[in-house]
Chain A
Amino acid sequence: MARIELKDVVKRYGSVEVLRDIDLDIEDGEFIVLVGPSGCGKSTLLRMIAGLEPITSGDFLIDGERMNDVRPRDRDIAMVFQSYALYPHMDVARNMGFSMEIRKDPSNERTSRVKQAAETLGLTSLTERLPKALSGGQRQRVAMGRAIIRDPRAFLFDEPLSNLDASLRVEMRLEIARLHQKLGATMIYVTHDQVEALTLADRIVVLNGGDIQQVGSPLDLYERPANKFVAQFIGSPTMNIIPVQGKSNGVKLADGALLELPHLFGTIDAVELGIRPEHIDVVEVGDLVGVADVVEHLGSDTNLYLQVEGLGPLMVREHGNIPVQPGDRVGLRIQSENVHLFGPDGNALRCHTNEAAA
Chain B
Amino acid sequence: MAIAQSRPLLAIGKYAALLGYLTFALFPLYWLLKIAITPDQLIFTEGTQLWPSSLTLDNFRTVLFQTDFLAYFGNSLYVSLGTAAATTLIAAGAGYAFSRFDFGGKRIIIAVMLITQMFPLLMIIAPIYKIVASLGMLNSLTSLIVVYTAFNIPFATFLMQSFFDGIPKDLEEAAMMDGCSRFQALRKVIFPLTLPGLGATLGFVFTAAWSELLFALMLISKNEAMTFPVGLLTFVSKFSVDWGQMMAAGVLALIPSCLFFIFIQRYLVQGLTSGAVKG
Binding site for B on A (CB under 8 A): 50-52, 71-73, 77-79, 81-89, 98-99, 102-103, 130-136, 139, 146, 163
Picked from B168, B170, B176, B279, the residue with its CB within 8 Å of the CB of A136 is B279
Which of B131-139, B179-187, B208-216 forms contacts with chain A? Answer: B179-187
Q: How far is the CB of B254 from chain A (nearest CB, A)?
A: 33
Given A81-B173, A85-B173, A87-B171, are A131 and B275 also a contact pair (CB < 8 Å)?
yes
The residue on B at minimum CB distance from A81 is B170
28 A-B pairs within 8 Å (CB atoms) are namely: A50-B173, A71-B181, A72-B173, A73-B177, A73-B178, A73-B179, A79-B174, A81-B277, A82-B170, A83-B276, A84-B276, A84-B277, A84-B278, A85-B277, A86-B174, A86-B277, A87-B171, A87-B175, A87-B189, A88-B273, A102-B178, A102-B188, A103-B179, A132-B271, A134-B275, A146-B178, A163-B278, A163-B279
Q: Is B192 an interface residue (CB 8 A)?
A: yes
Binding site for A on B (CB under 8 A): 168, 170-171, 173-181, 184, 188-189, 192-193, 271-279
Q: Which residues of A contact B179 (CB under 8 A)?
A: 73, 99, 102-103
Q: Which residues of A contact B279 (CB under 8 A)?
A: 135-136, 139, 163
Q: Which residues of A contact B276 (CB under 8 A)?
A: 83-88, 131
Residue pairs across A and B with CB atoms within 8 Å: the count is: 88
Question: What CA separation (Å) do A71 and B271 show in the bound complex?
Answer: 32
Question: What CA separation (Å) do A51 and B275 show in the bound complex?
Answer: 25
Q: Which residues of B contact A71 (CB under 8 A)?
A: 176, 181
Q: Which residues of A contact B168 (CB under 8 A)?
A: 83, 85
Q: Which residues of A contact B180 (CB under 8 A)?
A: 73, 102
A89–B178 CB distance below 8 A: no
B274–A132 CB distance below 8 A: yes
The residue on B at minimum CB distance from A135 is B279
B177–A89 CB distance below 8 A: no
Question: What CA separation (Å) do A223 and B215 show in the bound complex?
Answer: 79
Question: What CA separation (Å) do A146 and B272 show in the bound complex?
Answer: 21
Given A83-B170, A102-B184, are A139 and B275 also a contact pair (CB < 8 Å)?
yes
A88–B193 CB distance below 8 A: yes
Q: List 4 additional A-B contacts (Cβ < 8 Å) besides A81-B277, A88-B193, A102-B184.
A: A52-B173, A52-B176, A88-B275, A103-B179
Q: Which residues of B contact A79 (CB under 8 A)?
A: 173-174, 177
Given A131-B275, A136-B279, A139-B275, are A85 and B174 also a contact pair (CB < 8 Å)?
yes
The residue on B at minimum CB distance from A133 is B275
B178–A88 CB distance below 8 A: no
